[in-house]
Amino acid sequence: MSYDQAIHHIMQEDGVEASTMMKTPCVRYRGEFMAMMFEKEDALIIKVAPERVNELIAEGKGMEFNFTKKRFKEWVLIPLEFEDDYESYIHESLAYAKKKKK
C-alpha cells in the first residue's frame, strides 16, 4: 500500500493528526511524531522502539536515519521497495506512540 493510502487509513484513528516536521508533511499521535516520507532517501521514516530499529536494520528492511550526522535511535528509514508493508509499519509506529503517551 502506498504511503498516501496508508496515511489516509491511519488518519481515521483517534488522536492521529496531520502535521509537519523538517518542513515536510508527517503524521503524529497526540503530538508524538509517528511517520513521514523522506524524499531525499525515497523512504518512509517511522518512529519505533530502538530495539525494533536495530531489528529492521538487521533484517535488511530498514536503514539508519542519521540526516544530521547523529543517529536517531528511534527512527528508521523503510525503503520504497517495502512500500507494500508501509501501512503495517505506520500502525506499528502508532502503537509505539500510544505506549509512550501512557
pLDDT in tens, the chain (102 residues): 889 999 999 999 999 999 999 899 999 999 999 999 998 889 999 999 999 999 999 999 999 998 778 888 999 999 999 999 999 999 999 999 999 877
Q: Give the Cα separation of 5 and 16 in Å (integer).
A: 15
Cβ atoms of residues 27 and 17 within 8 Å: yes
* pTM score, whole prediction: 0.93
Chain centre to alpha carbon of residue 87:
10
Which domains are seen in the chain, by residue range? 3-101 (3.90.1150)
- Quote the longest CA-to-CA distance of the chain: 35
C-alpha 96/C-alpha 101 separation (Å) is 9
Can you tell me the distance from the alpha carbon of 1 to that of 54, in angstroms, rounded to the nearest whole number? 24
